[in-house]
């Protein structure tokens, strides 16, 4: 067991509740412990980051990019160690850690190093206004200062540290408050950046519980939050008190719509994978399926067979030994089980799984397929965040669409059909920030594509140009080089000038036809 006491606050004051133990959810073994930072300690950590930020900004894109290139290599060279750390604190499989975390970080360092200079370059602007003719008009981006990132436990690298990468690329310092369930990966990332030559204090980790997260909101210039909609609302309300901008990536209830002309074998493989990968603990998991009646029976049979064959357990045996890992967050077992029991009590049938599993101290939930479900059941309306797949029969695509949109969430969705043109038209009518046709989740790997939720699934987006511009203040510059001593519109107002200006406005804007 490792006791981690990294990056202590400069003059540590009254630590609130001492240490937080970190447990391996697959075995119950304690694998580390980290300090539970008090609000005063969080403030000190942010102050250190603030002091380090100007020199980091001054390094420029090239200087920062060099460190990112080293970090990219470090991630690949040390991938076994990173995977082992992630697996030890989440209980997820090696493959889930490799696919969604190592691959993400390695790609992200390269992507932001390459694209930050272009996304944040000065932009020359042309204007139709007669008042600014001949003037130089520009917009530019400047880092905000210190970006705070509050992360969840399902992806301790991707959804926590991952948001720090563009923040740092823009020239901000970043302070990360990881979930108290999974803080070890963030501390490893701090060690990595240190070895890669990041100047001291530019990236700091403030370990602790929810109160440490709340304290971070009070100190930073931008807060990026990933987690539940309920906590997201609290974070947004607290940020509003300081009038700082927020980015929120919250819960989802992603629908999958399977039309009768779909490639059923591919759709069934995808349904099993994208609902159960990472133990179903993915904000963009397939959480509910609507299948057109003519192919419903065949689709259900295929999915059930695939889910029954999944191997679940402690991933300690290494790569290829299990498909579905543990439930990372203890209370989540109760949420998953409550959704399954609620569905069964209201008439649903369990075709596979349906219970917590494992006879040891580890936490698991059996990969579960539910049918005869409807929207009176929590499993179809609330985020389950576990290895469950409720499948509902629908009359046609319009019914599927109406049910897909019957949700307070709007993170992602997918449509499955061989008629990709029709699929795309249907996708455009789904109320979600991202919709795939004949695919799911994999859009997240393309950092060029913005990713953000509609409705209660979030505010703002990550990835794409917007994913780094949000960490900057935009500044407009107007430069006048050649000009008279007094412009026509300046004091004193004279009737002749007013008439002249009126004529000018008529000339420029008054020539279009009416009606
Ligand atoms: P939370 O949203 O409560 O936690 C996310 C992060 O916020 C954690 O780091 C947490 O710290 C921190 N936090 C908690 N309270 C506050 C606060 N008042 N101010 C600032 N930060 C705070 O998620 P949970 O871990 O409790 O999971 C609850 C549900 O959220 C899950 O059942 C799942 O449905 C959903 N979820 C969604 C995710 C997504 O990717 N969209 C990811 C994870 C969960 P700490 O962990 O120390 O409490």
280 CA distance to ligand 1 centroid (A)? 16
In ligand 1, the atom with minimum distance to the C-alpha of 331 is 32
In ligand 1, the atom with minimum distance to the C-alpha of 335 is 32
**Helical pair 210-219 and 39-58, crossing angle rounded to 10 deg:** 50
The span from the CA of 318 to the CA of 321, in Å, is: 6
> Does the pLDDT of residue 376 top 80, yes or no?
yes
The span from the CA of 112 to the CA of 468, in Å, is: 8
* Measured torsion, CA atoms of residues 406, 412, 415, 420, in degrees rounded to the nearest 10: 130
DSSP string of 211-260, one letter each residue: HHHHHHHHH-SEEEEES-HHHHHHHHHHHHHHT--EEEE----EEEEE-T
Nearest to 316 by CA among 360, 370, 262, 258: 360
250 CA distance to ligand 1 centroid (A)? 9
| Token pair recorded at residue 82 | 């990173």
pLDDT in tens, 466-478: 999 999 999 999 9
Q: Average pLDDT, whole number, for the chain?
A: 95
Distances (CA, A) of 400 to 293, 339, 429, 430, 434: 11, 21, 11, 10, 17
> What's the confidence (pLDDT) of residue 306?
98
Catalytic pick from 283, 379, 436, 472?
283
Nearest CA to ligand 1 atom 40: 283
Nearest CA to ligand 1 atom 26: 228
| Contact criterion met (CB below 8 Å) for 269 and 140 | no
DSSP string of 365-424, one letter each residue: E--EEEES--TTSHHHHS---SSEEEEEEESSHHHHHHHHHSSSEESEEEEE-S-HHHHH
pLDDT in tens, 151-200: 999 999 999 999 999 999 999 999 999 999 999 999 999 999 999 999 99
> What's the confidence (pLDDT) of residue 359?
74
Confidence band, pLDDT 50/70/90 cuts, at residue 5: very low
pLDDT in tens, 267-283: 999 999 999 999 999 99
pLDDT in tens, 25-67: 999 999 999 999 999 999 999 999 999 999 999 999 999 999 9
186 CA distance to ligand 1 centroid (A)? 16
| Token pair recorded at residue 138 | 């520009």
Q: What is the pTM of this model?
A: 0.95
Catalytic pick from 44, 95, 219, 249?
249
Nearest CA to ligand 1 atom 9: 179
pLDDT in tens, 465-511: 999 999 999 999 999 999 999 999 999 999 999 999 999 999 989 98
pLDDT in tens, 296-350: 999 999 999 999 999 999 999 999 999 999 999 999 999 999 999 999 999 999 9
Average pLDDT over residues 202-214: 98
| Residues 208-213: contacts with CB under 8 Å, at least 24 apart | 208/16, 208/20, 208/35, 208/36, 208/37, 208/38, 208/42, 208/177, 208/180, 209/17, 209/20, 209/36, 209/180, 210/180, 211/16, 211/39, 212/36, 212/37, 212/38, 212/39, 212/42, 212/177, 213/150, 213/177
Q: Is the CB of residue 228 below 6 angstroms from any atom belonging to ligand 1?
A: yes
Please compute Rg for the chain using Cα positions: 26
> What's the confidence (pLDDT) of residue 187?
98
């Amino acid at each position: 067991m490792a006791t981690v006491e990294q990056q202590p606050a400069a003059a540590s004051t009254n630590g609130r509740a001492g240490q937080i133990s970190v447990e391996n959810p697959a075995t119950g073994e304690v694998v580390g412990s980290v300090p539970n930072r008090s609000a005063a300690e969080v403030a000190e950590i942010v102050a250190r980051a603030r002091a380090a930020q100007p020199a980091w900004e001054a390094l420029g894109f090239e200087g920062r990019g060099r460190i990112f290139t080293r970090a990219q290599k470090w991630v690949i060279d040390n991938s076994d160690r990173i995977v082992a750390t992630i697996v030890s604190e989440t209980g997820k499989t090696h493959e889930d850690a490799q696919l969604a975390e190592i691959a993400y970080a390695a790609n992200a360092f390269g992507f932001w190093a390459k694209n930050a200079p272009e996304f944040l370059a000065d932009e020359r602007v042309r204007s139709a206004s007669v008042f600014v003719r001949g003037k130089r008009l520009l917009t530019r981006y400047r880092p905000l200062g210190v970006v705070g990132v509050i992360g969840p436990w399902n992806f301790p690298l991707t959804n926590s540290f991952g948001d720090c990468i563009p923040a740092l690329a823009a020239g901000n310092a970043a302070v990360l408050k990881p979930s108290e369930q999974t803080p070890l990966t963030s501390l490893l990332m701090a060690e990595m950046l240190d070895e890669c030559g990041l100047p001291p204090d530019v990236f700091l980790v403030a370990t602790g519980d929810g109160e440490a997260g709340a304290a971070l909101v009070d100190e930073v210039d931008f807060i990026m939050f990933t987690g539940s909609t309920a906590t997201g609302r609290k974070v947004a309300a607290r940020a509003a008190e300081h009038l700082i901008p927020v980015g929120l990536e919250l819960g989802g209830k992603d629908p999958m719509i399977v039309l009768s002309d779909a490639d059923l074998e591919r759709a069934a493989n995808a349904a099993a994978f994208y609902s159960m990968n990472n133990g179903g603990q993915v904000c963009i998991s397939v959480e509910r399926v609507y299948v057109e009646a003519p192919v419903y029976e065949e689709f259900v049979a295929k999915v059930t067979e695939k889910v029954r064959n999944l191997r679940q357990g402690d991933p300690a045996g290494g790569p290829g030994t299990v498909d579905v890992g543990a439930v990372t967050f203890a209370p989540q077992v109760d949420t998953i089980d409550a959704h399954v029991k609620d569905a069964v009590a209201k008439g649903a049938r369990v075709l596979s799984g349906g219970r917590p599993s494992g006879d040891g101290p580890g936490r698991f939930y059996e990969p579960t397929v539910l049918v005869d479900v409807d929207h009176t059941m929590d499993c179809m309306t609330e985020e389950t965040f576990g290895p469950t797949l409720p499948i509902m029969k629908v009359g046609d695509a319009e019914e599927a669409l109406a049910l897909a949109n019957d949700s307070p969430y709007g993170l992602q969705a997918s449509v499955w059909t061989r008629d990709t043109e029709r699929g795309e038209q249907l996708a455009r009518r789904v109320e979600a920030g991202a919709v795939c046709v004949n695919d799911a989740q994999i859009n997240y790997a393309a950092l060029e594509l913005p990713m953000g939720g509609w409705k209660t699934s979030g505010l703002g987006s990550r990835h794409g140009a917007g994913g780094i511009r949000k960490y900057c203040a935009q500044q407009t510059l107007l430069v006048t080089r050649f000009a008279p001593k007094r412009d026509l519109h300046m004091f004193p107002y004279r009737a002749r000038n007013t008439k002249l200006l009126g004529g000018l406005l008529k000339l420029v804007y008054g020539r279009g036809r009416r009606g």
